[in-house]
Structure 1
């Protein structure tokens, strides 16, 4: 099976597989360029909990023999082999990556690499089960999350991701929760950052991602829905939520003609708040949320009412056919009727990007991948253990990972107009 970016496929379902091998290939025009494949064994928090769960040339095998890395001398450059029965229950998924060794320092980037592919092979028979060719759109990235193998209803599935990252292996390690020594910034970058406001730096990061994903000319309304249940109280008071608003505002500035971010908060009740812009974001959370006595705060979860208000705003009150990108921040406990709202909203010009933060239960959101009966896949979910710890670059890459696929599908079904 030849996979396309964003496609998910069964691996073990209907097959008797003892071991599989992911085999990576590429071509470079420069002999000095070194590329390495790696695997991160992740918990259900999407974190690599131990250094030894990072499998690469410097740590080529997991302690129990479940995963091993090897160099190859054919068209396949490197392989990562998995003995499925030995993978512990603590491993919820495995992310596979390729990186350019010291790419930034040596001035090597993914745009110089061609023929990038990964193929998934039955280790016992040599049969190729899946293949994913990727990389045509990369520019100055130095690392790629190629895909991930993840558990689904007792089976293993593969998700073809193909997302490029800046910062090389160090950035990937940070993203997956491993501690590394901070790299020394280049003098030019440091000088640039010294004179740019944080919001300008973030808009620059968003622009890079938009260019890579061919979204530069897309116009969209952007909204954020913020969980304000009791478990979120500390994140409001320590400034994390304010920082989230500022980071998402940069996305709105690049997508929305009005450069405004629409805002909702919810617990058992919800409030639709004034939009936030570059001129008033500085103390938005304190003024508009924490000091606002009209807002119901720190109760329990109830997502459907706020979602229905989002739908009402963009499809009844302000129905102009513009696609809508909603970023939904939640720290767990989503009620099951949320799925019914998402299903019914699949005919609307709204894409729901759910972001789980913290270490709570995300059972409902994790099931978005397997929801059936929708006209288009209109929702995505990823989990961040600590949203304050992830870089802007990584955050924007994940936020905008599946939005392009939804745009294409929504245009095909005439849910949104082609532009």
Structure 2
């Protein structure tokens, strides 16, 4: 089965797969170009917690003996084999990458590489389960996150990503919580040997990814205020307590940092009540969810959903308390069906400089949100909906691409109707 970019596939569900091999292949006409495949073993925080959890030819076996890297003498260039039942319980996700050694320094880039693929093979039987061909959209990037193997409901799934990064190995190590202290000319094994846990967050790398997305969407130079509305109904308890919501806040903060002159993200939470929270910035986002939400007894938590009151407060903030024609981007996180009266709120706010990007997470029906694009009676189409089964499994680049997909067309329509200034 050939996978498409962004597609998720069941690896173990319905199959007897004890040992899985990922075989990587590529072609290049430049014999001087050195390309390497590697694997990052990540915790449920999305971080590589120890140096030994970075698996590549300089560190070919992990501490549990579950993973093994190998160079191959065939069409497949390298492989990573995983004995699934040997993986440490803390291994929530495995991220697989391909990098060009010293790409920026030597002037090598992914545009010089062709035929990039990964094959997922049942290592016990030799059966090829999936094949993912990627890289046709890459140019100056020097690293690729090929895909992720992650746990979901007790089974393993594969997410076909194929997202390019600038900065090569160092950028990926930073992204996954490792910091390279060696000079840029150091060999990969030397760099990995001196890797230490990064004291800083991945916010800087995420801002770079947002910037790349803005360039793709022709949004560079656009100024906007950014807010996030977080569902805090009963079904969201696990996501609040396991760090997923904190991670969402950090990921959206990167968007605010690139759009907002003040680099500030406005925050609301709601169930059948709502709370407007202190805005978050790069200076104080660490542990924001615990400090400002979970540890605050004044905030109503884990009730039923009622969206219109919080939406009306969002409108009130941007049109009455702090009015401006500067566009507003609201990321609205919801894990279940919204109430139908949101249609009335959306219609009334279609004359305001506010765009609502709804994000449905989980496996609810989202009947109302799915019909947003066909809603009538609005001056402009001021809302969009994307559905993500497991937001924690979606790469930053894929998330930003989807969140900002409809925003440019709304900007054009809002300018045409003089809702926002040109």
Shared fold by TM > 0.5?
A: yes
CA offsets 1:333-389 (integer angstroms, 9 cap, x no match): xxxxx52246989999854469xxxxxxxxxxxxx35445664743476569xxxxx
How far, CA to CA, are the matches of 1:15 and 1:261 in structure 2?
A: 47
Pair 1:101–1:407, CA change in 2 (3 A): same
Structure 1 length as normaliser, TM-score?
0.62
Q: CA deviation at 1:150?
A: 0.7
The equivalent residue for 1:136 is 136
Identify which of 209, 213, 225 aligns with 2:213.
209
Say which SS state the counterpart of residue 132 (structure 1) adopts: strand
Contact 2:358–2:386 (8 Å) recurs in 1 = no
Residue number in structure 1 paired with 2:335: 339
Q: Provide the C-alpha distance between the structure 1 equivalents of 2:311 and 2:154, rounded to a whole number of angstroms.
A: 35
The answer for the alignment partner of 2:9 in structure 1 is 9
- Sort the Cα spacing of 1:19 and 1:174 in 2 relative to 1 into closer, same or farther, 3 A: same
The answer as to whether partners of 1:203 and 1:253 remain within 8 angstroms in 2 is no
Give 3-state SS (helix, strand or coil) of 1:104's partner: helix
Deviations 1:123-176 (A, max 9, x none): 122211111111111122111111111111111111111111111111111211
- Structure 2: 5+ residue stretches without partners: 186-204, 233-239, 241-248, 286-295, 320-326, 347-354, 371-384, 411-422
**Relative to structure 1, is the Cα distance of residues 215 and 15 closer, same or farther in structure 2, using a 3 angstrom cutoff?**
same
Displacement, 1:396?
6.5
* Alpha-carbon distance change, 153 to 169 in structure 1, aligned in 2, over 3 angstroms: same
1:117 aligns with 2:117: yes
Paired residues for 1:44-193 under 5 Å = 44-181=44-181
CA RMSD of aligned residues (A): 4.9
After superposition, the Cα gap between the structure-2 partners of 1:266 and 1:113, relative to the gap in structure 1 and judged at 3 Å, is same
Return closer, same or farther for 1:371/1:93 CA change in 2, 3 Å cut-off: farther
Give SS of 2:64's match. coil
Which residue in 1 is equivalent to 2:228? 225
Q: Could you tell me how far 1:102 is from its partner in structure 2? A: 1.1
Aligned 8 A contact 1:95 1:145 in 2: yes
Question: What is the alpha-carbon distance in structure 2 between the residues aligned to residue 63 and residue 260 of structure 1?
Answer: 41
Superposed counterparts of 1:19-418, under 5 Å: 19-181=19-181, 206-211=210-215, 214-216=216-218, 223-225=226-228, 247-252=254-259, 263-266=266-269, 270=274, 299=299, 301=301, 308-309=308-309, 326=331, 338-341=334-337, 350-352=356-358, 368-371=361-364, 375=370, 377-379=386-388, 397=397, 399-403=399-403
How far apart in 1 are the matches of 2:48 and 2:279?
37
Task: Name the counterpart of 1:334.
Answer: none
Aligned to 2:246: none
Residue aligned with 2:299, SS: coil
- Give the SS at the match of 2:163: strand
Which residue is equivalent to 2:289? none
SS at match of 1:169: helix
Cα separation, 2, equivalents of 1:304 and 1:140: 48
Alignment CA distance shift 1:27-1:220 (3 Å) = farther
Residues 266 and 302, structure 1, Cα contact 8 Å, conserved in 2: no
- Normalising by structure 2, report the TM-score: 0.62
2: CA distance, partners of 1:282 / 1:155: 36
Could you tell me how far apart the structure 1 residues matched to 2:104 and 2:308 are? Answer: 46
SS at match of 2:141: coil
Question: Are the aligned partners of 1:48 and 1:54 in contact in 2 as well (CA < 8 Å)?
Answer: yes
C-alpha distance in 2 between matches for 1:58 and 1:306: 53
Cα distance change on mapping 1:57 and 1:401 into 2, 3 Å: farther
